[in-house]
Structure 1
Amino acid sequence: MTPNRHIAVHGADVPVVGVSFHDALGFISWLSRRDGRAYRLPTEAEFEFAIRAGCSATTPCGSGCVPEREHTSRTWPEAFLARWTAAAKRVNPHGLQGLNGVLWQWCRDWYAPYPDEADVTDPQGPTTKPASSLWKGRTLPAGRVIRGGSYSYPEWYGRCDNRHFSFPDDRNVNLGFRIVFDTA
């Protein structure tokens, strides 16, 4: 990964932020070569499974789907670090921390509206780059799914079922990523 001035690192136990989709893929490629293991970004469905941690409700549930937030006038980076510190103290039933309300996190799926079927299990985004993405009634260039909400957004953005959209080249203090690997 090529260093750039947008990426912020605040310590070994704090997520890196300001990472574009392409930056995330570059890091994953480097780590996969280093470890001899095939790492990747999670699919949107995998991210939702991780954040729900067994909760099947369509509304926020007891596993922390809507993060509690301290109301503060802090700005970057204090607001982010305070939110991460609070989120890091809570571990969900899968043993994961800080999945919602801290950072938007890249998923590997291209953004597209969900199918019309009400009960879709493990929805898949388009397998190739679409010509455009429909976002809140507007047609925009193709984008990727981001999940998890952000410390600087209203709390409801951190709901388990909330999905958002970002362009692959976007870098800001609200974007980070997680990696997964297949065990089989």
Structure 2
Amino acid sequence: MKPTFAILLGLAATTTLLLSHCATTTGSGGGGSGGLPPATKESPFVNSLGMKFVPVPGTKILMCTTETTVAQYQAAGMGYEPPKFSQGSDHPAVNVSWDDAKAWCAWLSKKEGRKYRLPTDAEWSAAVGRSAYPWGNQWPPPSNCGNYAGQEMRGCTAAEREILFEGFGIIGSFSDRHKFTGPVGSYPANGLGLYDLGGNVWEWCEDWHPKYRGEHHVLRGGSWSYDNRKDLASSSQHFYPPGILGGYGFRCVVERRDSAR
């Protein structure tokens, strides 16, 4: 018996549905803007490395909820220069230059077929919010709100103190359980679901620093050894692109535009 036109239409519709389902469940992404699945704070976009991304209001990006970890960084096979202190695979990658961070984002973009990059200074500002500090408006910060220079630093040996690169102060009675870097996401997230926008490591941004254009790039957020009351949410650091330090790392964003190929 020859297939009827109605049967052929039914088969075509079934095939379309199956192809549509495959498109939304494979690595190339499905619905949402720019080929990315829809993402929310409660239901983030998760990539092949297990990195979670949430929207930042007023931008065209999804931002990774955490800093890039040692394990994620090493997945690119770029080599990793460990710091002079002990780290776990879930700690933020440090001793990473701006050039290194850019190369890692390019590797991930090629691997996933999406545009990954460093956040701009403006995007980072949108993510951290409008409070005076990443944790709110009060000083000193409440204990365990982030990884800064707390009471645990009093136990540093002379050799460990040589690692410190941002001063030797301690923030009042503040404590956070980690002398140096700690596992990403160890402290409460902000209202957008983003962790460690204050402390743990300074985070490279895409931009040149306005005072050192063409020479130094912007870093945001403070690090595990930071004790400065002037560390406002709007504060920034700067360093030359090939430079590395044990308190410098990065987090990435993925654009909500057309996929990179």
Q: Distance in 1 between matches of 2:197 and 2:90?
A: 14
CA contact (8 A) 2:90 2:184 kept: no
* Deviation per residue, 1:118-163 (Å, 9 max, x gap): xxxxxxxxxxxxxxx28xxxxxx71000111111122435421111
* Aligned counterpart in structure 2 of residue 154 of structure 1, from 227, 252, 259: 227
Question: Which residue number in structure 1 is paired with residue 200 of structure 2?
Answer: 102
Change over 3 Å in CA distance of 1:85–1:32 after alignment to 2: closer
SS in 1 for 2:179: helix
Q: Distance in 1 between matches of 2:81 and 2:135?
A: 39
Where does the alignment leave 5 or more consecutive residues of structure 2 unmatched?
Answer: 1-76, 143-147, 165-177
Change over 3 Å in CA distance of 1:65–1:100 after alignment to 2: farther
SS in 1 for 2:218: strand
* Deviation per residue, 1:27-61 (Å, 9 max, x gap): 11111111111000000011111122xxx35x337
Change over 3 Å in CA distance of 1:11–1:35 after alignment to 2: farther
CA contact (8 A) 1:149 1:158 kept: yes
SS in 2 for 1:156: coil
Question: Which residue number in structure 1 is paired with residue 47 of structure 2?
Answer: none
Question: Which residue number in structure 2 is paired with residue 43 of structure 1?
Answer: 120
CA contact (8 A) 1:28 1:179 kept: yes
Shift of the alpha carbon at 1:111? 0.6
Identity rate, percent: 29
Q: Distance in 1 between matches of 2:204 and 2:184?
A: 21
Question: Which residue number in structure 2 is paired with residue 3 of structure 1?
Answer: 79
CA contact (8 A) 1:110 1:143 kept: yes
Change over 3 Å in CA distance of 1:87–1:4 after alignment to 2: closer
RMSD: 3.0
Question: Which residue number in structure 1 is paired with residue 248 of structure 2?
Answer: 175
Q: Given the two structures, how large is their TM-score scaled by the length of structure 2?
A: 0.51
Q: Distance in 2 between matches of 1:151 and 1:169?
A: 21
Identify the range of structure 1 (71-80 vs 37-46) with the bigger mean alpha-carbon deviation. Answer: 71-80
Check if 1:21 corresponds to 2:101. Answer: no
* Aligned counterpart in structure 2 of residue 79 of structure 1, from 136, 156, 179: 179
Q: Given the two structures, how large is their TM-score scaled by the length of structure 1?
A: 0.70
Shift of the alpha carbon at 1:12? 3.9
CA contact (8 A) 2:96 2:244 kept: yes
Q: Distance in 1 between matches of 2:228 and 2:135?
A: 15
Shift of the alpha carbon at 1:95? 0.4
Check if 1:60 corresponds to 2:133. Answer: yes
Q: Which has the higher contact order (CA 8 A, sep 6+)?
A: 1
SS in 2 for 1:164: strand
**Radius of gyration: which is bigger?**
2
Letter in 1 for 2:92: P
Question: Which residue number in structure 2 is paired with residue 123 of structure 1?
Answer: none
